[in-house]
Every structure is written in C-alpha cells, then in structure tokens.
Structure 1
C-alpha cells in the first residue's frame, strides 16, 4: 500500500498493482508492519507530526525511510518523539531519473542496503526492517551507525555528484563545448551520468550532508591541485605514484568481478552489544543476506579493500 501527498501518480501506480490510499490516516488504519518514508527531508517534520498520533494507535508498526542522509533523519524522528519505533535504511540503488514513469522493476536487483541503528534501537524493530529487505526484497544489508553511513555516502555518492556536476559546468563554459560534446563517448558518459539528475534534488542531497561533503571536496581539490603541479613540473615519478595509488581498489573490483558466487557463513548475534557486532561485520566487508532465526544471520564474505 502507498500514500503520496499528491495523487497524480495514482493511476499509473494502481495500474502496476500498487494499492494507493487517499490519506495517511487511511494507510495507517491497516496497521502495517513497516511504514517506509520516501519523502524529501524538508517535508519530514510535517509528515512525522501527522504520523505521530496515527502510530500511537499502531504501536507495532516500525518506521523506516530510504533517505541518503541518516543522521539528520534520526534527529528529526527523535524531535517528533518517534525515535523508539525508527530504524534507518538506505538502498544503494538509483539512477538520474525521477517520477513514477521512471520506475524500474529491476532497480533493486542484487542491491545492498545500509540499515542504521543507534544504542537505543530495539533489536526487534531492527529485525523487522532487516527481514523485510533480505527476505521480502531479496537484497543484502550492512548495519551501520548514522555517522559512519553519512561519511561513507558522502564518499561514494554526494561528493561524486558535485564532481560530476563540476564537469558538465566546465564543459558548458568552454568555448569549444560543441566540439567537446561531439567527441564525448564512454568516459564522459560514465563520469557525468549522475549530473543529469534534477539539480534541485542533487543540491538538497548535498546540503543535507554538507560537512562531510565539504571535507571530501577540499581533499579532492588538494589532490587535483597536486596533480596539476606535477604536470607543470614534469614530475613523472609523482604522477606514476598518483595513478598507482588506487591499485588496492582496482584489485578489489577485479576480485568482485571474478566471482560468480561468494562464500557464506552464519553469524551469531548477541542480545547485548548486537549493534557493535554487526558494525564490525560491515567493516570487515561482510553483508547479511538472510537470517536462520532471530539471533543468527547468514553473512556473505566478499573481498575487502
């Protein structure tokens, strides 16, 4: 079931088998196991305020979301007095498109989700969300705290969106932009795909993780300035070191691509300290693919960098 603040996508969604509700209260009257928030962060306080009395009538419902920044969402949820029923989630899958017409049934194929918890998170609430992702959606999860997630998301998504946008800005301002655009092929396509995203959507995402993105952009700027200096000085040794520094990641990707399947084993989840156990598992490069029972997970062992 689904609810949207504007009903304009309902006809298409219902044609695709989604049961759409006209109000949030109507949605919550079904007492769902999980409510997934998919709204912009700026709309979160108003939606949480509307949800609060409805969740009071459905105490077993767990609240989660799919936002790309977790610390801010948890702060908003706690400010609304709903921290007890919340577990954060972020599916690492997406594209540069938006709207129901851009929906892709294969978007989540083999996707990994980050599930975020804190010291107050109920294990049963976590398990509800984790089982939904691994069993119902068929995806993998790693368990993180909000800070670790937001720093990682800045590294692999938010900062690259800025860099990709800077590339198309540079081309747009170049006097030979039409020649360059005609020459563009695979390299340019791959490096600028995310820059084709709605710029307001990208800006909001980056601003919501501003501190982490700022730190990474300053590091990136320093790296690029150093390479420019090395080119100016004709410093071949330094340039060789720069291009070789990423070899650990190249080996990691080669190892991932070389495997058709990965080994799996069981992981015991303690009743106390379970958050740290699962965080350490994520830092080893492991991912949860399912559960044997409430306290025993199946983890997939993938190469680490």
Structure 2
C-alpha cells in the first residue's frame, strides 16, 4: 500500500536532498519517521537494540539491523544524516559510538528536552555537526508496534540553532584574534597567514553545521511537519508548559478520578478521557521527559498550583465564583485554536518567515521567528 505525504507544509524551495537517512532507535517517533521517509522514496536504514523490534521492522519491509557498529560505518560511508531516536539516558552511549564509527556524519535528535542534549553534545566536542530537533507529535503508545504513517503531518517540528550562534561567535572571535595578531606583528605576512587559519577553520565548521541544519529542516518538511526554530533553553521553557506539565496534570486527574471508585469510572466520559489521554504513556517515558526538564516544569507547575489554589478558594466560599478562571481558560483555549487550528489537519495561522541559511541577517530572522512562534521555510 502506497502512502503519500501532502506537500502543503513544505515552504522551502531548495532542491530535495535525498542523501540517506540513518535512524537510531525505532520507537514511536523513530519508527514512524522510517515509515514516512521510505514511503516518500528516501533511502533509509536504521538500528535498534532490541532484536524483537528488528525482526518486526524487517518483516514490515524495512532495512534495520541490531549491529550498531556496522550501521554507523554504513552511515559514514554513505554520508547519511543520523537521527537519534533513543531516550535521554541512552544518548551518551550513542554519541560515543557515533564519535568513533561515524566521525563526519551530521546528526539530530528527537528528544523532548533540548538544553541537556545540547550540553551533552557540547561536552563531547560534537557541536559542529549537531542540530537539535523535537517533533511535537506522538500518541500514548510506544514501541515499533505503535508506529504509523502520517504521525508528523500537520505537526510542529522544532529545530534548534544554538550552535549557529556559537559558531558565528567563534568566527568573530577568530577574526578579532587574527586582526590583533596581525597588528601586533606590524602586519607582516607570516603573522597574517597564521592568524587567518582559525577563521578559515571556523568557516569550514559552519559549512558542515549549515549543511546538517538544512537537511534537518528538509526532512521535517518532507514528512509533513511545520518547522519552528528555537534555542534549546526557550524550547525547554515552552514545552515545560504545553507538553510536560500536561502529563503531570493527566496523571493527577487519572488518580483523582480512579479514587472515586467503580461508579465514577463507569460514568467517566469524553472530558475525563480527553483530560487523561497522555496518562496512558509509558511511565518511564513520562519520567524521562519531566525529570530532564525540572526547572521549566517547576515554574509551570507553581503557576498551575496557584491557579488551582485560587479555584479551591473560590469554590469554598459561596459568595465567590469561578468566573475569572473559567473565562480566562476559555479565552486561552481560543487563542490556541486560532494559532494551531481546532483539529490536527486544519491550516494554522502561524506567521511564516522564509530564510536563506548563512546569509547576512539570517540569525536575526530565526530570532524573530522564534519570538513569534513562526513557521520557517528556506530558499
């Protein structure tokens, strides 16, 4: 059965880049990405630690191995883009393997926190080929058996640009150092040549990073996602509120409802079902999300507790009302629907900004897009 991804979300006008993809970790996100990429005609292969998952994926017609070293050597030979689809606790091990067996491959990740990943990659000296990613898509289910075509269609895919800022800074610092060295030596040819080397190296590093960044954006668009740029810290602050906090609230609501006993569960309908949907997520995945983003989640949780305490006081006093919270919540939900659409397939009303990677002022454009929550396309 063929499956076609709509091109409605593709804003970029660069030629398609069909160098191979190598997906490391075939859970819900990695496996669904493999399905969509192969359906789109992309050369794609992958790795998973579980032999059971490898067997299932192969049975479904996918090129998958349980041999990590061989998979990474193949990626290096074919200049594949690596997509890290493993949970946060497994990233350090995987990065070490990539450093050893695929030392020139660009790579991205799909984890739900970005600052910790960014810091880990930086500590291992691999920032010049890493672009953070987070597809804002998923279900309460996990594993290869939960994978599906079309998971990312209409979803947002966050692409980070922290390393662009840092590499730009490194280039500026190298240029300043070269200029200072040249002046101190009286502008001699030997000093000038020596001072130029760091700047040239920084430019080469930037080219490698830019190539990876463009490939990640192209991949996200290819599977139907809308790309929004963000630096890691701001991403984590935002998802702490709209992704990680909802898991805590869903778990709490599920426990409170269940505490009402059999009658309460028999009477529970759509509001309880919708409000507790993500409580069906694997508890280990919930912990990995929330516990790796503690500062942002705590800030959002404190505000929520304050709102709930206010609601409790309003309910406890007969002369008070829930009017303010009910109206504020209704208005906030309306703003969300106006921005993202009422249903997943609806067209969004996000601003759109087109950028040319590496051109003068492009980082300012990314900052503007981030501040507006704008979708980007590249040309």
TM-score range, shorter chain: 0.7 to 0.9
Inter-partner Cα distance in structure 1 for 2:86 and 2:346: 36
Compute the TM-score of the two structures, normalised by the length of structure 2.
Answer: 0.70
Match of 1:271 among 356, 359, 363: 359
Deviations 1:133-178 (A, max 9, x none): 11x3232100000011001111111111011111122233x2x311
Point out the structure with the larger helix share.
2
Q: 2:250·2:276 contact (CA, 8 Å) conserved in 1? A: yes
1:283 lines up with 2:371 in the alignment: yes
The residue number in structure 2 matching 1:303 is: none
- Separation in structure 2 between the aligned mates of residue 265 and residue 156 of structure 1, nearest angstrom: 21
Q: Which runs of 5+ in 2 are unaligned?
A: 1-44, 168-208
Indicate the residue corresponding to 1:298 in structure 2: none
Conservation of the 8 A alpha-carbon contact between 1:28 and 1:55 = yes
1:257 Cα deviation after fit:
3.8
Aligned to 2:217: 130
Superposition pairs of residues 1-305 of structure 1, within 5 angstroms: 1-30=45-74, 31=76, 32-56=79-103, 59=104, 61-118=105-162, 119-120=165-166, 122-134=209-221, 136-172=222-258, 174=259, 176-236=260-320, 239-246=322-329, 247-254=331-338, 256-257=341-342, 261=347, 267-269=354-356, 271-288=359-376, 290-291=377-378, 293=379
Relative to 1, partners in 2 of residues 1:192 and 1:265: Cα closer, same or farther, differing over 3 Å? closer
Give the CA RMSD over aligned residues. Answer: 2.2
Say if 1:262 and 1:251 are closer, same or farther in 2 by CA, change over 3 A. closer
Equivalenced residue count is: 284
**1:16 shift after superposition:** 2.2
Write the distance in 1 (CA, Å) between the matches of 2:238 and 2:255: 25
Gaps of 5+ in 1: 294-305
Residue 63 of structure 1 and its aligned partner are, at CA, apart by 0.8
Q: Distance in 1 between matches of 2:319 and 2:280?
A: 36
Q: CA deviation at 1:261?
A: 4.6
TM (norm. structure 1) is 0.86
